[in-house]
Structure 1
Amino acid sequence: MTALRPRRRTRWTPQKVALLALGIVLALATIFPLVWMITGAFKPATEVNGSAILPSEPTLENFAYVFTQVPFLRYMFNSFVVSAAVTVLALWFHSMAAYALARLRFPGRETIFLLIFSTMLVSLPVILIPTFVVVRTLGMVDSYAGLIVPAIFNAFGIFLLRQFYVSLPGELEEAALVDGASYWRIYRSIILPLSRPILSALTVFFFLTNWNSFVWPLTITSDPNLRVVQLGIATFQQQYAADWNYVLAAATVAAMPTLLIFFFFQRQIVESIKSAGFK
């Protein structure tokens, strides 16, 4: 019977203590706004501007008001439709583009990749007006298409998937080509199953990015029936500028899907970072 190894005691050096203290401070600074938002959502109007963190008399009236007096469910439905559609279409097109740029040989491949990669250096405000002009010319203003189509193309997803595909062993493709498989069959039957960790992480990234989108929906829509949740909260705040208890309740409801997604998919995010080779 093997003897149990004694546990190694952690040696607390001044550097480790300082890093631990810094980590605790950063964690509290990150969590405090979220805690303040959630507790404020349960406060009555007379307490929401007070200094106390916890409400003395918690109430659900704020949530009832949000769901009965404002079409908030419609806003959340719009955000879900846009986020889900962009996520599915982006993963489909990005994975195909990344596979072609990583595994296929054709003239101008590196140039095309550099051009796509260079768009990561351009921020949204720079291309906001040109994109709006194009979308208006195509007749997609005040429509789901106008909210979805421009958000599909994202150089980050293509770049991350390409880096992942480059790291895959080439023997898999060679064996499949010898067996008579086409490139489309290789992509569908070999590449996509191996891409599940990185695709899971990109799913979370794309969904959360579009769920929290504000500038582009504000630019492209004026129809109240097409308002997404973030735009709905902004207009709600302007309409009831003094009723912060209602605004905090709406923000809490809007934050719940993002927190649940991160809670259930955090393992996939960590695994995708490991498989992508980030150091």
Structure 2
Amino acid sequence: MSLLVLVVGSFVFAYPFLWMISTSLRTKQGVAEGGIGLFPLQWQFSNYADALGSFPFWSYLLNSLLSTLIPVAGTTIVASLVGFALARIPAKGAGAIFAVILATMLLPGEVTLVPQFILFKQLDMMNSLYPVILPVFFGSPFFIFLFRQFYLHLPASLVDAAIVDGAGWFRIWRSIFLPLSKPIIVATAVLQFIASWNNFVTPAIYLTSEQWKTLPVALAGFQSTNGTDTPLLMAASIVVVLPCIAIFFFAQKQIVGGVTFTGNR
């Protein structure tokens, strides 16, 4: 009985995505006649080629890759460094600093939206990828928390032995802790990739020219560009969401393992 409930529940949650795939393979008339059915009356695979050819897909793809991969690398390195410092370097006030970092998680993004906009405007960085990329290099409280908890689980004897051998804190992090951090690095990288790849609000605010638009912003204007061509819109949406789905399925064990490992202390 429980298995049946899980199967039915999974289908309910997966149905909107399955309907997107089905709609992307229909004709305009098929969308109107098909209703909520999942099987197109006429299969039209050319929708994908038509959708990608109706706007500068490759240019937008490059912008999305730049605004995603750089934040992934930046978030992983910064969160790892800060998490290691908070977990292993003995310093007065470290607990208070960590509490302040966690407290910033309570602030919704809308609170800092206007100050950041004013800051980047004064720095003359409007209509560029800098406002999308640079904020992650100042650290993410959630990922700092994950790395700190992960490093607290590692044996303290590793640090003691390295200090006896004359290693400094940076070398201890680089040579000992970072190689042992694969599960949490993968979890952080995947979660940050999904967040940056699907980021719509920030690029929509700062990117005004076609040169720097990312794929989520391009999809928002896709419907107005192509009228009410729902099959093309669904085809383009499927292409955009595929990287997130593929990465999640390939790395889901590492994500679950890394996140659950940090919560066992």
TM range (shorter): over 0.9
Alignment coverage as a number of residue pairs: 262
Question: Highest CA radius of gyration, 1 or 2?
Answer: 1
1:39 aligns with 2:22: yes
Q: Distance in 1 between matches of 2:245 and 2:57?
A: 18
How big is the shift at 1:259? 1.2
Q: Specify the SS of the correspondent of 1:130.
A: helix
1:219 aligns with 2:205: yes
Q: Which residue of 2 aligns with 1:121?
A: 106
Q: Is the 8 Å Cα contact of residues 126 and 206 (structure 2) preserved in structure 1?
A: yes
TM-score (norm 2): 0.94
After alignment, is 263-272 or 117-126 more displaced? Answer: 263-272
1:80 aligns with 2:65: yes
Q: Distance in 2 between matches of 1:127 and 1:241?
A: 35
1:48 aligns with 2:31: yes
Q: Specify the SS of the correspondent of 1:43.
A: coil
1:105 aligns with 2:113: no
Q: Percent of aligned pairs with the same residue?
A: 34
Q: Is the 8 Å Cα contact of residues 48 and 232 (structure 2) preserved in structure 1?
A: yes
Q: Distance in 2 between matches of 1:125 and 1:131?
A: 10
1:157 aligns with 2:132: no
Q: Specify the SS of the correspondent of 1:193.
A: coil
Q: Specify the SS of the correspondent of 2:166.
A: coil
Q: Which residue of 1 aligns with 2:241?
A: 255
Aligned AA (1:91): T
1:196 aligns with 2:148: no
Q: Which residue of 2 aligns with 1:27?
A: 10
Q: Distance in 1 between matches of 2:31 and 2:234?
A: 9
How big is the shift at 1:191? 0.5
CA deviations over 1:135-168 (Å, ceiling 9, x no partner): 1122211112121012443111111111111121
Instruction: Report the CA distance shift for 1:103/1:79 in structure 2 as closer, same or farther (over 3 A).
Output: same
What are the ranges of 5 or more consecutive residues in structure 2 without an aligned counterpart? Answer: none
Q: Distance in 1 between matches of 2:165 and 2:86?
A: 23
After alignment, is 150-159 or 34-43 more displaced? Answer: 150-159
Q: Which residue of 2 aligns with 1:181?
A: 167
Aligned AA (2:55): V
How big is the shift at 1:24? 2.6
Aligned AA (1:38): I
CA deviations over 1:114-133 (Å, ceiling 9, x no partner): 11111111111221111111
Q: Distance in 2 between matches of 1:55 and 1:204?
A: 33
1:167 aligns with 2:150: no
CA deviations over 1:76-111 (Å, ceiling 9, x no partner): 221111110000011111111111111112232122
Alignment of 1:91-102 (within 5 A): 91-102=76-87
How big is the shift at 1:278? 5.1
CA deviations over 1:168-195 (Å, ceiling 9, x no partner): 1111100110111111111001010111
Q: Which residue of 1 aligns with 2:214?
A: 228
Q: Distance in 2 between matches of 1:110 and 1:196?
A: 25
Q: Distance in 2 between matches of 1:154 and 1:44?
A: 44
Q: Distance in 2 between matches of 1:258 and 1:238?
A: 25
Q: Distance in 2 between matches of 1:79 and 1:69?
A: 18
Q: Which residue of 1 aligns with 2:257?
A: 271
Aligned AA (1:43): R
How big is the shift at 1:273? 2.9
Which segments of structure 1 move beyond 4 Å, counting only runs of 4 or more?
none
What are the ranges of 5 or more consecutive residues in structure 1 without an aligned counterpart? Answer: 1-16
How big is the shift at 1:201? 0.7
Q: Distance in 2 between matches of 1:196 and 1:223?
A: 38
- Cα-Cα RMSD: 1.6
Q: Specify the SS of the correspondent of 1:74.
A: helix
Q: Distance in 2 between matches of 1:233 and 1:211?
A: 13
Q: Is the 8 Å Cα contact of residues 127 and 207 (structure 2) preserved in structure 1?
A: yes
